[in-house]
Amino acid sequence: MFYFLYLTFFKEGTIFSVLRIFRFITVRAFISLFIAFIISLIIGPYIIDYLRKYKISQMIRKDYGYPESHQLKLGTPTMGGLIILISTIISILLCANLKNLFILWGLIVLVGFGIIGFIDDYLKLTKKNPEGLKARYKLLLQIYVSLLIGIIIYVYKVYVAKLWDIGFNPSELDYKNFVSTIYTTYISIPFFKNLLINLNYFYIVFVVFVITGSSNAVNLTDGLDGLAAGTVALTAVSFAVLSYLAGNWKIASYLNILFIQGAAEMTVYCAAIIGAMLGFLWFNSYPASVFMGDTGSLAIGAAIGYTAIVIKKELLLIFAGGIFVIEALSVMLQVFSFKLYKKRIFLMAPIHHHYEKMGLKEPKIILRFWIVSIILTLITLATVKFQ
């Protein structure tokens, strides 16, 4: 809306000249973060009270082997992801350029995966079944939404985007940066200068893997109070900065990174996520007053994966979202080891429960994971100088 106001009413030398500030992505990004944060703080208490009133609370099965401390969480409201989704989406609608297709596709990701998570949480509560939506159905729905996005991006960027849509003179860009504005099937390799791999049609499968994998990895991380919220916020900081760099052709050319026309607008998208996560963390920090549930974790995880795809930093997600990768790998290794050797590598998976079983207190585990995430964020941002 703010960008629309600038386009519609801005005129130099009039009372509307102040609207010029909304043309700057950095300004709208800061406003987006602030609005998402404030909305979270405002609607949070009302949503939490509603969830409590209708007993929409967390179920914890003793036979799952959770530490005894988790039994104290019984009755804590869940589906708090509604706070995240509402504040994020409203902030994006207010602050982002809605003519930018990356933003519109990003909203599809948020809403699509939010609905999947909502269905999962709803079934858990109504059917009194901690498993909720069956894993295979949940995965299929995630694949469907990811596949839709993958096909849309592929078809648009490969067959629809034309040179006159770019708005830049090809001579201003080097060949590889110019190619990256039209074709989306290339992935860049971190730490290597101008090393691109063209996946062709397999890029659609790659999109499905990244978005679905990121969504489920964040979902697995959401097991301790504030753990997922804090790490997602830090990961979003990485991609907010990288989005701005990738969308500015002068900076991208100077840093020798791929220039992606329109990607800078994803800075506003990421800023909304940061603000929403910080606002949610206000209620979700230890001891949590509300849990995000799959409604929040699946949607936000998918949004992070989608952003990595847009700015061509899919492989950097391994660093920026390193905590999520570790959490997901711990589960896969645990399952693989038990099925193959009937032995468990960890006391319990995901790995944050392993440390709980070792006797570490929940706040200490959360803080240490945040510290690791901060280090990974710095490493991620530093990669742009190692190209």
The yes-or-no verdict on residue 30 having pLDDT over 90 is: yes
**pLDDT score for 116:** 97
Averaged pLDDT of the chain: 86
- Mean pLDDT check: name the lowest of 2-6, 202-206, 228-232, 296-300: 2-6
The yes-or-no verdict on residue 179 having pLDDT over 50 is: no
**pLDDT score for 155:** 81
Q: Where are the beta strands (DSSP E) in the chain?
A: 186-188, 196-198
**pLDDT score for 174:** 46
State the Cα–Cα distance between residues 60 and 224, nearest whole angstrom. 13
Helix, strand or coil, per DSSP, at residue 186: strand
Mean pLDDT of 334-358: 90
Per-residue pLDDT tens digits for 117-126: 999 998 888 7
User: What backbone torsions phi and psi does residue 81 show, to the nearest 5 degrees?
Assistant: -60, -20
Q: Where are the beta strands (DSSP E) in 94-195?
A: 186-188
- Mean pLDDT check: name the lowest of 101-105, 133-137, 185-189, 262-266: 185-189
Backbone Cα Rg of the chain = 21
- Mean pLDDT check: name the lowest of 38-47, 62-71, 127-136, 212-221: 62-71
Mean pLDDT of 363-372: 96
**pLDDT score for 56:** 83
Query: Residues 242, 181: contact at Cβ < 8 Å?
Result: no
Per-residue pLDDT tens digits for 220-270: 999 899 999 999 999 999 999 999 998 888 888 888 888 888 899 999 999
Buried-state track 28-55, b at ≥16 Cβ within 10 A, e below 16: bbbbbbebbbebbbebbeebbeebeeee
Mean pLDDT of 324-328: 96
**pLDDT score for 163:** 39
Query: Residues 212, 295: contact at Cβ < 8 Å?
Result: no
Alpha-carbon distances, residue 332 vs 7, 81, 129, 146 (angstroms): 50, 25, 23, 22
Pick the most confident of 53-57, 62-66, 189-193, 207-211: 207-211
- Mean pLDDT check: name the lowest of 101-105, 168-172, 382-386: 168-172
**pLDDT score for 224:** 92
User: DSSP code of 189?
Assistant: P
Question: What is the sign, positive or negative, of the torsion defined by CA atoms of 63, 217, 328, 149?
Answer: positive
- Mean pLDDT check: name the lowest of 196-200, 267-271, 335-339: 196-200
Interhelix angle for 293-310 vs 81-95, to 10°?
40
**pLDDT score for 6:** 53
Query: Residues 35, 92: contact at Cβ < 8 Å?
Result: no
Per-residue pLDDT tens digits for 284-299: 999 999 999 999 999 9
The yes-or-no verdict on residue 162 having pLDDT over 70 is: no
Query: Residues 365, 376: contact at Cβ < 8 Å?
Result: no
User: What backbone torsions phi and psi does residue 371 show, to the nearest 5 degrees?
Assistant: -60, -45
**pLDDT score for 176:** 44
- How many other CB atoms are found less than 10 A from the CB of residue 362? 22
The yes-or-no verdict on residue 181 having pLDDT over 90 is: no
The yes-or-no verdict on residue 105 having pLDDT over 70 is: yes
Structure tokens at 324: 């999520």
Helix, strand or coil, per DSSP, at residue 197: strand
Mean pLDDT of 273-283: 98
| Start-to-end C-alpha separation, the chain | 37
Cis check: omega of the bond before 350, within 30 degrees of 0 = yes
Structure tokens at 213: 């994998």
Per-residue pLDDT tens digits for 368-377: 999 999 999 9
**pLDDT score for 19:** 65
**pLDDT score for 135:** 87
**pLDDT score for 190:** 82
Pick the most confident of 64-78, 121-135, 143-157: 143-157
Greater confidence (184 vs 151) lies with: 151
Residue 386 binned pLDDT confidence (cut-offs 50, 70, 90) = confident
